[in-house]
Every structure is written in structure tokens, then in C-alpha cells.
């Protein structure tokens, strides 16, 4: 069974930093594009970032570009999201997801998520 487990969330003041991790199991992690997505309280889903299977290509939503860095360690089946210069509006549950479908690009499965709260 494919599983994704996030960790590293918590409370941070505006301007602070956090590093999220996502540990994968049940599939060949190194073969897949991986993504981070988020959902602010009471809001819809938002795509945050992708990383290619090898880690050499990364993509970001405009809302996080220049502040967040996605990376992966294929030897340890782990995806990361380094979040810097955090803003109140970054408060959300952050989930990692495996990307399927090639160009059709769907997210499956998703992890349960880790809550990031940015507040003074």
C-alpha cells in the first residue's frame, strides 16, 4: 500500500522558517514526480510546488516562489519543503502527494498533512 507521512509542522512567527518532511513507502519513490499542496483553514486546495523524479527540476506557485525550496532524497524516500520568510497567509495544512498520469498530472495518494501556523 502506498503511504505518505508528513512531519515538521508547527507554530512559527512571521518571517520565520520551517522544514517539512514527507516519508514515502509502498512505491518506487525515485520514479515519480512529487508535489506539495496546502489547504488553509476553511479554504480550498492549493498546489505549492513540484520536483522531478531526479530532483533536478523544480516548480513553484507564484505565492511561494523565492521563499520555499522543494527537494528530495531518493536514497531515503523523503521529500522536503523548506519554508522561509513565512507569512500569516502561509498558515495551512501542508500535504505531499505522488504525481501520476504523466502529462495528465493527478495527485494520488496524498499524505494526511501537517499543520503550519504562522502567527505572532
**What is the total residue count of the chain?**
120
C-alpha cell at 117: 501556523
Other Cβ atoms closer than 10 A to 96: 30
Give the interface segment with other proteins, choosing from 7-15, 25-33, 73-81, 98-106 (CB under 8 A): 98-106
Q: Among 42, 7, 27, which Cα is nearest to 108's?
A: 27
**Is 100 an interacting residue with respect to other proteins (CB under 8 A)?**
yes
Fill in the per-residue mask, 3 to 42: x = in contact with other proteins (CB under 8 A), - = not in contact: ----------------------------------------
Give the interface segment with other proteins, choosing from 21-29, 70-78, 82-90, 108-116 (CB under 8 A): 108-116
Question: How big is the site for other proteins, counted in residues (CB under 8 A)?
Answer: 22
The residues facing 30 across adjacent strands are none
How far is 34 from 102, CA to CA, in rounded Å?
A: 12
Binding to other proteins in span 48-67, by CB under 8 A: 59, 61-62
Angle at 38 between CA 33 and CA 43, to 5 degrees: 145
Helix, coil or strand: residue 89: helix
Q: Choose, by CB under 8 A, the member of 90, 95, 116, 118 that binds other proteins.
A: 95
Binding site residues, other proteins, CB under 8 A: 43-47, 59, 61-62, 95, 100-101, 103-113
Amino acid at each position: 500500500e502506498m503511504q505518505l507521512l508528513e512531519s515538521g509542522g508547527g507554530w512559527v512567527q512571521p518571517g520565520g522558517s520551517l522544514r517539512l518532511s514527507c516519508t514515502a513507502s509502498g512505491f518506487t519513490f525515485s520514479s515519480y514526480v512529487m508535489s506539495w499542496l496546502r489547504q488553509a483553514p476553511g479554504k480550498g486546495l492549493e498546489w505549492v510546488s513540484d520536483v522531478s523524479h531526479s530532483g533536478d527540476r523544480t516548480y513553484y506557485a507564484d505565492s511561494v516562489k523565492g521563499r520555499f525550496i522543494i527537494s528530495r532524497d531518493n536514497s531515503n524516500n523523503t521529500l522536503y519543503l523548506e519554508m522561509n520568510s513565512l507569512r500569516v497567509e502561509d498558515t495551512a495544512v501542508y500535504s505531499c502527494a505522488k504525481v501520476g498520469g504523466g502529462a495528465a498530472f493527478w495527485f494520488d495518494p496524498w499524505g494526511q498533512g501537517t499543520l503550519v501556523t504562522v502567527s505572532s
